[in-house]
């Protein structure tokens, strides 16, 4: 049949839509190595990275990085892997049966045919999360599915527009447009970005995140990737993580024409399926390094790579982590993330909170939870004052959590984006906190019904609860004691001028403050 052209509609982030035909080729992936030496060195490394990634996917649930993970296993594999998951306290529920593709990456699943080899698609997680995921899967609720899998909200919205609404099978072009910007008629784009958000190696089983990022420089994607790489190192895959980040730092070129995409890298070329287009589209991602086995030539990506500007390199970002984690000049967001006009103003507001937290913990350390942590600046001071204190935080703003992970690189996995009132990932298993920190205005805003479960958790899962307030909240309520009472909490210290105090949740003190 004659293929009719169609156009992906432009939106707020895309001004260069693709001209597309209304047909799609069957899914396929073919690899061609640039040399025998390149294949000898890198093919086994790709296999080890892919194997490590399969473990990282579900171990990230154990680490609290995400609530659920998806994986494909055969019935025979499940006999072993199911026992591993159960041994770690995780449930595995099949949500789909599929045919065997034999490809490291498939944009669409292979239909199950009776009598042929098949695999199960399992969702892995805590029991309640698995039940919630299954319901979302049955309802085709992509937003809930993406949230349970830990995908950043910006990338979930991108996926909805590009994959669901525009029915594209390859998100590379709109991802590049969102990164570099373009006008109608543009067919070649040059992009830059951190290696962690480079998704061009996904057809070879090499990726630092499980989702399709919205941009080649998506900050939320990089923050998630850093956590997943840390999980990989913790479970013994340090060498694989080094190779992963090295590969993703190489230059790569993606091109699309007539439904076939070619991905050229310094060591291997991949041919695969993409959206069918009447003309050629090209995306070039500039890298910062190349392997010894790279093919050398005059055309991209076989040229000697030109280094990115300093601020785009991983080394610079690691330097930023070091800068914000110690005394010294602070980035502008250090105070503004938390609603303060200056670092001095924030230090003054935090001082009574840190003093009381330090006195309460008494030098014994333990897990400290900040409910509404902003960028983690308050927890940074507590950790510095109390040896052995382990910070945990949650905030609704992804940018603030990304900054918190920079301030606390050793505990990046302990900071999560979510609603402090009902996010179950804060309370896995029988986890307790030595101290929880909360501004009670959040409880007042929620109302009695929504705050009830959190108050119960504070009562039963926290040794101590510290509340604080400053600014408008204190002015409206008159005192911290009155503010806490309106949120369902009872202040232990009755001094009305306090900006920080210990509380109990049931109306009567459990103990006197130390």
Looking up tokens 């373009």 gives 182
Residue 494 confidence (pLDDT) above 60? no
* Of 323 and 82, more confident: 82
Query: What does the DSSP 8-state code read for residue 114?
Result: T
Q: Which residues contact 28 (CB under 8 A, 6 or more apart)?
A: 103, 271, 272, 273
Structure confidence at residue 137 (pLDDT): 93
Residue 2 confidence (pLDDT) above 60? no
Model confidence pLDDT, tens digit, residues 160-182: 999 888 889 999 999 999 998 87
Structure confidence at residue 332 (pLDDT): 77
Please state, as a whole number, how many other Cβ atoms lie within 10 Å of the Cβ of residue 426: 23
| Residues 161/175, Cβ–Cβ less than 8 Å | no
Q: List residues bridging with 490 in a β-sheet.
A: 504
C-alpha 123/C-alpha 150 separation (Å) is 13
Structure confidence at residue 76 (pLDDT): 83
Residue 4 confidence (pLDDT) above 60? no
Residue 135 confidence (pLDDT) above 90? yes
Respond yes or no on whether the N-terminal peptide bond of residue 301 is cis (omega within 30° of 0).
yes
Mean of the per-residue pLDDT values of the chain = 84
Phi/psi of residue 339, nearest 5 degrees:
85, 15
Start-to-end Cα distance in the chain: 81
* Band (447; pLDDT cuts 50, 70, 90): confident
Nearest alpha carbon to residue 283 among 366, 176, 367, 210: 176
Mean pLDDT across 445-468: 89
Residue 460 confidence (pLDDT) above 80? yes
Residue 125 confidence (pLDDT) above 90? yes
Mean pLDDT across 141-158: 94
Model confidence pLDDT, tens digit, residues 346-389: 999 999 999 999 999 987 889 999 999 999 999 999 999 998 89
* Of 60 and 115, more confident: 60
Order across the sheet with 91-99: list the strands.
68-73, 118-125, 91-99
Model confidence pLDDT, tens digit, residues 202-255: 999 999 999 999 999 999 999 999 999 999 999 899 999 999 999 999 999 999
Least confident of 175-189, 293-307, 427-441: 293-307
Phi/psi of residue 280, nearest 5 degrees:
-85, 135
Mean pLDDT across 150-159: 94
Percent of the chain with pLDDT over 90: 52
Model confidence pLDDT, tens digit, residues 324-346: 544 456 787 898 888 888 888 89
3-state secondary structure of 252: strand
| Residues 392/363, Cβ–Cβ less than 8 Å | no
Model confidence pLDDT, tens digit, residues 384-415: 999 889 999 999 888 889 899 999 988 888 99
Mean pLDDT across 65-92: 89
Least confident of 93-102, 118-127, 302-311, 322-331: 302-311
Model confidence pLDDT, tens digit, residues 265-297: 999 999 999 999 999 999 999 888 888 888 876
Q: Which residues contact 500 (CB under 8 A, 6 or more apart)?
A: 352, 353, 355, 356, 357, 466, 467, 468, 480
Structure confidence at residue 53 (pLDDT): 93
Stated pTM of the model:
0.57
Structure confidence at residue 350 (pLDDT): 94
**Strands (DSSP E) along 22-117, which ranges?**
29-33, 68-73, 91-99
Percent of the chain with pLDDT over 70: 85
Residue 421 confidence (pLDDT) above 50? yes
Structure confidence at residue 100 (pLDDT): 63
Residue 505 confidence (pLDDT) above 70? no
């Amino acid at each position: 049949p004659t293929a009719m052209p169609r156009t992906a509609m432009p939106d707020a982030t895309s001004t260069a839509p693709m001209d597309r035909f209304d047909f799609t080729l069957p899914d396929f992936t073919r690899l061609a190595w640039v040399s025998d030496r390149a294949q000898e060195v890198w093919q086994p490394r790709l296999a080890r990275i892919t194997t490590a990634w399969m473990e990282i996917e579900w171990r990230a649930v154990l680490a609290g990085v995400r609530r659920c993970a998806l994986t494909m296993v055969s019935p025979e594999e499940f006999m072993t892997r199911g026992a591993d998951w159960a041994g770690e306290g995780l449930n595995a529920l099949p949500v789909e049966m599929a045919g065997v593709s034999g490809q490291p990456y498939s944009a669409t699943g292979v239909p199950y045919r009776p009598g042929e080899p098949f695999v199960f698609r399992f969702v892995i997680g805590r029991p309640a999360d698995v039940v919630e995921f299954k319901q979302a899967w049955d309802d085709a609720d992509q937003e809930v599915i993406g949230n349970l899998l830990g995908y950043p909200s910006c990338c979930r919205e991108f996926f909805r527009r590009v994959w669901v609404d525009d029915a594209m099978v390859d998100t590379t072009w709109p991802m590049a447009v969102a990164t570099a910007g373009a006008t109608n008629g543009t067919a070649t784009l040059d992009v830059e970005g951190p290696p962690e958000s480079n998704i061009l190696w996904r057809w070879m089983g090499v990726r630092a995140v499980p989702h399709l990022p919205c941009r080649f420089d998506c900050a939320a994607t990089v923050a998630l990737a850093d956590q997943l790489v840390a999980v990989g190192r913790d479970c013994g895959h340090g060498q694989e993580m080094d190779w992963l980040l090295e590969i993703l730092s190489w230059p790569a070129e993606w091109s699309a024409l007539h439904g076939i995409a070619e991905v050229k890298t310094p060591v291997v070329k991949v041919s695969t399926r993409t959206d069918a287009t009447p003309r050629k589209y090209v995306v070039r991602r500039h890298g910062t390094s190349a392997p010894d086995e790279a093919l050398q030539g005059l055309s991209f990506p076989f040229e000697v790579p030109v280094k990115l500007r300093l601020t785009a390199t991983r080394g610079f970002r690691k330097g930023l982590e070091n800068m914000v984690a110690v005394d010294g000049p602070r980035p502008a967001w250090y105070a503004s993330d938390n609603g303060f006009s200056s670092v001095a103003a924030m230090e003054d507001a935090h001082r009574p909170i840190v003093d009381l937290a330090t006195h309460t913990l008494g030098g014994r350390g333990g897990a400290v939870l900040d409910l509404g942590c902003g960028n983690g600046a308050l927890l940074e001071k507590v950790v510095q004052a109390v040896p052995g204190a382990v910070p945990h935080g949650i905030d609704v703003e992804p940018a603030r959590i990304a900054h918190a992970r920079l301030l606390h690189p050793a505990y990046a996995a302990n900071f999560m984006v979510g609603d402090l009132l009902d996010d179950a990932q804060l309370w896995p298993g029988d986890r307790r906190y030595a101290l929880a920190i909360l501004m009670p205005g959040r409880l007042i805003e929620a109302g009695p019904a929504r705050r009830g479960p959190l108050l119960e958790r504070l009562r039963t899962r926290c040794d101590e609860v510290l509340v604080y307030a400053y600014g408008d909240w204190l002015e409206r309520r008159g005192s911290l004691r009155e503010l806490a009472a309106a949120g369902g909490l009872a202040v232990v210290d009755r001094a009305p001028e306090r900006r920080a105090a210990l509380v109990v949740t049931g109306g009567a003190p459990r103990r006197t403050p130390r």
